[in-house]
Chain A
Amino acid sequence: MFAEQISIFIENKEGRLAEVTAILRDAEVNIRALSLADTTDFGVLRLIVDNNEKADDALKKEGFTVGKTKVLAVEVKDEPGGLNYILDSLSENEVNVEYMYAFANPQCKNAIMIFRFDDLEKALKILNEKNIKVITTEEICNL
């Protein structure tokens, strides 16, 4: 049920992000969602792509440090309170969000959010109990 995200360490230098996207372009990898967390000196680029293996290979070959992390892709109702409903359910059960970002999904009337929780298994269980839709990697790739 988990989706896999790849993350890349990049220094805060001009053109570094463009280099990553160029590598992915040349490897014919499509970026489905991304977030960039940054500090003064470096950033971590987190990506959901349509082909993790290709992306991983291509980036490593160019000398990037690449990590893989399990995340949850969660369907969020596109209406007031949609996101809050999910967050409330989790915080009641003391599950923390480490980070989250939104997903472009033109085919679906609902939004999709990518979540990294401190306790992924517990979060998944809660979401299932609440009948909140969690999207798999395969589904993401086919979107």
Chain B
Amino acid sequence: MPIYNMHYETMPREGLEAVQLSRLKATLEKVYSTVPFYKTSFDAAGIKPDDIKTLDDLKRLPFTYKQDLRDNYPYNMFAVPMDNVVRIHASSGTTGKPTVVGYTQRDINTWAELMARSFSAAGATPSDIIHNAYGYGLFTGGLGAHYGAEKLGASVIPVSGGNTKRQITIMQDFKPTILTGTPSYILHLAEVAEEMGVDFRKLYFKAGIFGAEPWSENMRTELEEKLNLKAIDIYGLSEIMGPGVSIECHEEQKGLHIFEDHFIPEIIDSETGEVLPPGETGELVFTSITKEAFPIIRYRTKDITSLNAEPCSCGRTHIRMNKPTGRADDMLIIRGVNVFPSQIESVLMETKQISPHYQLVVDRKDNLDTLTVKVEIDETLFSDEIKSLQNMETSISMDIKDYLGVSAKVMLVEPKTIARSEGKAVRVIDNRKI
């Protein structure tokens, strides 16, 4: 497949930077006049949109943090009246408070185009059949990929997540050629296929576009071997847009091209906030320059990575980001769901009125991420009856599912058994080899 938008995706850097600057200026004018949060934060930093004369001036603007989005829940970050908002998505947040994002019709069109570009970069064409196993709903994965597939002109099977055995049957009968989903769910699909006696390698896939959670080169090897397809990494987050912020090209599979005509990336030192020189590793920060409903300025993604400005053999001139290697905070991504340890604490406190010691243990079993929440027992929780203890475990587990949308196994443990270092409990043990 040729490059979907040859004009913008292969634009010489000089032209691209001119486009970025004019779009950035327009975005800054817009947010300053319509979003009180940005007016306040720019004013506090003593800067006006006019002061931004070059792309380099971007670093003078204040950052936007996830907490700012929570403080402006649900709609106060929107830069257009609700009349113009046609879609709302949300990502998991602290108990009952997700991060809410909105889209105008133009935003939806932009997103669809960027996903169509992504499918093309992965080698898809209008004659492909796309099996979309990303979850449909508030999560941006399902609908994001769906609209992009349609925009490309491919046939999309909106199968969503779950109902795994039926998915295998669909793959055998409908003969999809492109697979999308979270890598851990896709590996689970492969296992189920094996149990059903279906040889995944003999299905019809040529490429898979996997994202919404970090995955390694080792997983790529595993996915490509087990599934007999080209495994392509995609990156995105709802605060910036959703999937399709950046994508690997199938030619190189080495770094994800960021769609720079819509987003400006920076890498900063997460301690000092200083912008780091090209190639250095730090926290990824994004500014959107075309979004209408939910423009975002210098958003701290907390993802740790580096940028690669080397030209790419695929012909795209857009800068590449390397696969994120970690997080600048304690957020975990479990089966595509963002989980902060503090959310588990809130659930325990709000629903059980207890604030016990707890620990999150994440494993990857049969290629599926599992979350175990260990809760230290104390006399208020203890009962001599097994069934009350088990009911307690089940009830906490249901509360976590309710509030965070992630399944967790709750395990009561003896007091003082959760490791403490320097008096502070170790909240997370991540055993996944990503």
A residues adjacent to B (C-beta < 8 A): 5, 7, 9-11, 37-39, 41-42, 44, 46, 63-67, 69, 98-99, 116
Contacts and interface: CB of A to CB of B under 8 A. Distances in A.
B385 A9 contact: no
A99 B385 contact: yes
Given A5-B384, A44-B386, A98-B385, A67 B414 contact: no
A41 B384 contact: no
Nearest to B379: A65
21 contacts: A5-B384, A7-B382, A7-B384, A9-B377, A39-B386, A39-B390, A42-B412, A44-B383, A44-B386, A44-B389, A63-B415, A63-B416, A65-B377, A65-B378, A66-B379, A67-B382, A67-B383, A67-B384, A69-B384, A116-B384, A116-B385
Contact of B412 (A37, A41, A63, A116): A41
Interface residues of B, number: 17
Contacts of A65: 377-379, 382, 414-415
Interface in B375-411: 377-379, 382-386, 389-390, 411
Give 9 nearest A-B pairs by CB, closest first.
A7-B384, A69-B384, A37-B386, A65-B382, A67-B382, A9-B377, A41-B411, A65-B377, A63-B416
Contact of A63 (B383, B384, B389, B414): B414
Given A9-B382, A64-B415, 5 more contacts: A39-B386, A42-B411, A42-B412, A64-B414, A98-B385
Given A63-B416, A65-B377, A65-B378, A46 B384 contact: yes
Nearest to B409: A41
A96 B410 CA distance: 28
B40 interface: no
B417 to A, nearest CB: 7
Interface of B: 377-379, 382-386, 389-390, 411-417
Contacts of B416: 63
Contacts of B390: 39
A11 B417 contact: yes
Contacts of A42: 389, 411-413
B106 to A, nearest CB: 53
Nearest to B412: A42
A61 to B, nearest CB: 12
Contacts of B385: 44, 98-99, 116
A41 B414 CA distance: 11
Contacts of A98: 385
B390, B414, B415: most-surrounded residue (chain A CB, <10 A)? B414
A10 B413 CA distance: 8
A39 B389 CA distance: 10
Given A44-B389, A65-B377, A67-B379, A10 B414 contact: yes
A74 to B, nearest CB: 18
A12 to B, nearest CB: 10
A38, A65, A99: most-surrounded residue (chain B CB, <10 A)? A65
